Structure formats: C-alpha cells, structure tokens
A = this chain, B = another copy of it.
C-alpha cells in the first residue's frame, strides 16, 4: 500500500537508481523505531521495579499474632498458601528475565532494524506475560478469599486476624498487575515496531 522502499546496504543497483527517494524515508523509519526501542527500555525498567517489588513484598508478608496457646502460635506467611509461594517464585523469575532482557532492548535501540532481537523479545515477553498474569491472578483469588471468606464452603475470612498480612499480600498483587500492564504495552510496542510498512 505504502510507497516506502526498504533499501538494504548491500543492494547497490537499487541505490544507484533511486537514492533520493529512498534515503530520507529510511532515516525517518529508523528514528521512529528508535523511539519505540527507547520506550521499550523504559517500560522494562518499570516492569523490573514492579515485579521485584511484588516478589519482595510478598516474601516479607509474614505476620505473627501476639497471642498464642500452649500448643502453637498463630502465624501467617506466604508459605501458608501455595498460590503465594508460586507468586514469589514466578515474580522473582520474571524480574530475572527482565534484567537479562535489557541488553537485547539496548540492541534494538542501537540498531533499530535488528528485527531478530525484537522478535526474540516479543516471543519471550508473551511467555512471561502469561507467567506474571497467572501468578498475579492466583494470588488475587486467594487474597479475595482471605478478605471475604466463602460461606458455602465454610471458609472464614482470615483478614480480621491477620490484617498486616492481608495488606502486604494485596499490595504485592497490585504490583504484579502493574507489571502485567507493562508487559502488555511492551508486546504492543514491539508489534508496532515489527510492522513492515509504517
């Protein structure tokens, strides 16, 4: 549809015939892609903060009640719930991936036409988006039950007793949802940059 001509460096024939038409468009496309690549890098930094913050908040969310019986003390920590354990592991994993993905993001800034790196990033981002979303949603479901309980199955709300625990787990869940939004934006921007005609 568009009349853009993509001229690789090696094709001297084409460059010889129509250099004035091709060169400026190519330059503009590169600048546009570079802007998206810089945005990608910034979004990644935000996602690192959100995911590692979520993991740290959840991991430090244990609360011990000040009263205890002869036999055991009342304590709630992320270890109590499998969904929260999964959350901590998944978020630490996502944070690690994001840190490792920064060099690839830098490659796309330096070389806006390096589509291999971008393709690798969009595929891995999709996989880690599902990891972020699933761990966040599973933790959210448990947090909801902790807040409200469930009458039909006779599960009592534990947030009346463990208020601080519920607060920090809720915060961690919100932080993971922020990371999720960053991932969706990363994928959308990568898809825009991968587009052939612009």
Contact = CB atoms under 8 A, between A and B. Distances in A.
A134 B82 CA distance: 17
A82 B126 contact: no
Given A129-B130, A145-B145, A191-B123, A76 B153 contact: yes
B145 A188 contact: no
Nearest to A127: B184
Nearest to A6: B6
A107 interface: no
Contacts of A191: 119, 122-123, 126, 190-191, 194
A89 interface: no
A122 B194 CA distance: 11
Interface stretch (A13-21, A39-47, A48-56, A93-101): A13-21
B17 A13 contact: yes
16 contacts: A5-B7, A5-B14, A13-B17, A14-B17, A14-B18, A80-B153, A115-B197, A123-B188, A133-B137, A141-B142, A155-B155, A187-B187, A190-B191, A191-B191, A191-B194, A194-B196
